[in-house]
Structure 1
Amino acid sequence: MQEIAIEHIVQQLATIRESALQQRQRLSQPPKLPSRKALGQCVEWLAAALFPNRLGDPDIQANAINFYVGTTLDKALRELQHQIRLELAFKAPSEPAAQFRPQAHSLTGQFSEHLPRIRVQLDTDLEAAYQGDPAADSVDEILVSYPGILALIHYRIAHVLHGLGLTIIARLITEIAHSQTGIDIHPGAHIGDHFFIDHGTGVVIGETAIIGNHVRLYQAVTLGAKNFPKDANGHLVKKFERHPILEDYVVAYAGATILGRVTIGKHSVIGGNVWVTRNVPANSHVTQAHSDAKPIPAAA
């Protein structure tokens, strides 16, 4: 049997790789990117520190919880600091990587100060899931099994990091959850308290989406952009407000598609498989059968 020409393939791949690096102006010692695998472990540690009794060591004793949380946080933040330094160095490849250690340390400290608030927000999400799903027997069941909560743990951590300018790390973290749950939340989106994603598979929330408090989404809901304008050179225009705003107490049922910088008013309901590209006033109920948004009559 003829041997496979591995050395020849290796050389071809090397040529292609060097050409790609040269096009990106990274041929000389290309900087390392943050590690998806390391960040996945980091988020697991952070989740365990936030919820030690449910997502931490199953054998933890009550009198050792604070010690466990401290040691787990120490591991998580040390790894996160290393990953932050990699991102900073990647974004400034002409600078020596060692010089970013103080900045990485400072950013890690700033992130850590947000952890109590993240825990409080996640508690509101858990409560919203419990109140919104008749199949849920307990908040504990939701925390350990619901894909929507797993996605929100990743998102709420990533959103803080995104706000600190760590866009690569933030995106990697939400993409880890995306691959595990089918829920795609951009870390730049703004999501209020008491947020519930039921079932979840296929949900997409774009970068500039704004979601208020007590909002509920079902599977396959898309909060996306309506179009993608280009500049004079034919390149896509980035970083402009192109995704929907959902005000407080909005519900979007399975398969709803809401596109563009439109506002869905408070207490509105978007029915299943509805396509929305215009503003919807508060207290509206939009369905396939009645696509014109009309306020729900006030109760007598």
Structure 2
Amino acid sequence: MTIDTFDGTSVKPAHWDLDQVVRQLRVSREATHNIRHQRRIRELPSREALTTIVNGLSAVLFPTHYGRPNLTDESIDYFVGDTLNTTLNRLTEQVRRGLQFADSEEGMDEAMLTQRAHDITRSFAASLPEIRALLVSDVQAAYSGDPAATSIAEIMLCYPGTIAILYYRLAHRLHQLGSPFIARMICDISHSLTGIDIHPAAQIGGSFFIDHGTGVVIGETAIIGERVRLYQQVTLGAKRFPADASGALIKGTPRHPIVEDDVVIYAGATILGRITIGAGSTIGGNVWLTQSVPPCSNVTQAQIHNDCK
């Protein structure tokens, strides 16, 4: 029997000129190509921790669906309280780490950052009942809007759109409260899980339904009203990116669509720019749209009809 005395790869150790490579990497890291925020080493938020946090928050909001299926009327509140306490403590630490990268928090010492993180987390916890109400409206919209849905449980456990909206609702509230870095990471985790990319700053009303969902993109300044339904591969994007005199992109300007109440957008539609899709409109599949349409419009690849007459 041959005993492997190397590193588990059956490759003999070799010399790699490590001193030279490490030295050049230091020069790149510290001088010529330094990309650190404020040129300082800071403790990054953890994707693994945020995944655990979102799982905990999901269990708090819907204990029997995302928590434990064997909960009883006697035990459920204890489970929610214990899970919420642990999860909020974890969230506070991640918010604190994220605040280190916010220009608005520059100059704060550790004690101030920690207090700010506690304040954000406390406000976030207080808004959880409101978030749950929105999520319930989203689930009900999915159940009533999809003839293939057989139960609420199926929607909550099997529909990627529902998972993406859950992550978005949590992230959006954190973004509103002043934790944009953590919010962005939560939505990116959701993107990896579902294939649906929603920016946490987007504004989305209740009873929102994403059917199938793969490839949906909703940009930062998009505004979506109540009872809106999207299908797969829909893009609510920007048409152009304004720049300042030096050529640098101007950030934060409204550049994504406004979708009013009761709009349906079918698969593959691309809607670009700060345009308005009027209430009650239907946008057909694979439409490329860069101009506003009035309420009750029916837009196909070739024509715009008005159904309110």
Pick the TM interval, shorter chain.
Answer: over 0.9
The one-letter code sitting in structure 2 at the alignment partner of 1:57 is: R
Q: Does 1:87 align with 2:98?
A: yes
The alignment partner of 1:188 has SS state of coil
Residue 285 (structure 1) aligns with: 298
Q: Structure 1, unaligned stretches of length 5 or more?
A: none
Equivalent residue number for residue 130 of structure 2: 117
- Return the match for 2:200 from 187, 190, 193: 187
Question: Given the alignment of the two structures, is residue 14 of structure 1 paired with residue 26 of structure 2, yes or no?
Answer: yes
| Higher CA-based Rg | 2
The residue aligned with 1:147 is 160
CA contact (8 A) 1:21 1:27 kept: no
Deviation at 1:37, TM superposition (A): 1.5
Label 1:239 to 1:53 Cα distance change in 2 as closer, same or farther (>3 A).
Answer: same
Q: How does 1:28-107 map to 2 (within 5 A)?
A: 28=40, 30-91=41-102, 92=105, 94-107=107-120
Q: Please, which of 239, 243, 249 is the counterpart of residue 236 of structure 1? A: 249
Shift of 1:20: 6.2
| Distance change (3 Å), C-alpha of 1:11 and 1:93 | farther
**Following the alignment from structure 2 to structure 1, what is the Cα–Cα distance between the partners of residues 53 and 28?**
33
SS in 1 for 2:249: coil
Distance, in Å, in 2 between the alignment partners of 1:143 and 1:266 is: 28
Equivalent-residue separation in structure 1 for 2:141 and 2:299 (angstroms)? 23
2:28 and 2:34 in contact (8 A); partners too: no
Write out per-residue CA displacement over residues 239-284 of structure 1, whole angstroms, 9 at most, x where no aligned residue: 1111001101000000000000100001100000001111101111
Query: Partner of 2:214 in structure 1?
Result: 201
Q: 1:95 to 1:109 in 2, by over 3 A?
A: closer
TM (norm. structure 1) is: 0.93
1:191-226 deviation line (CA, Å, top 9, x unaligned): 001000000010000111000001000000000001
Question: 1:32, 1:90 within 8 Å by CA — same for their partners in 2?
Answer: no
State which of 227, 232, 243 in structure 1 corresponds to 2:240: 227
AA in 2 matched with 1:219: Q
**Residue equivalent to 1:159:** 172
For 1:133 and 1:297, the matched residues in 2 are separated by 25
Identity of aligned residues (%): 52
Of 190, 195, 199 in structure 2, the residue corresponding to residue 177 of structure 1 is: 190
Aligned length: 295
CA drift at 1:87: 1.9
Tell me by how many angstroms 1:16 deviates. 2.3
CA RMSD between the two structures: 1.7
Q: Contact 1:158–1:170 (CA<8 Å) still a contact in 2?
A: yes
Measured in 1, the distance between the counterparts of 2:72 and 2:23 equals 56
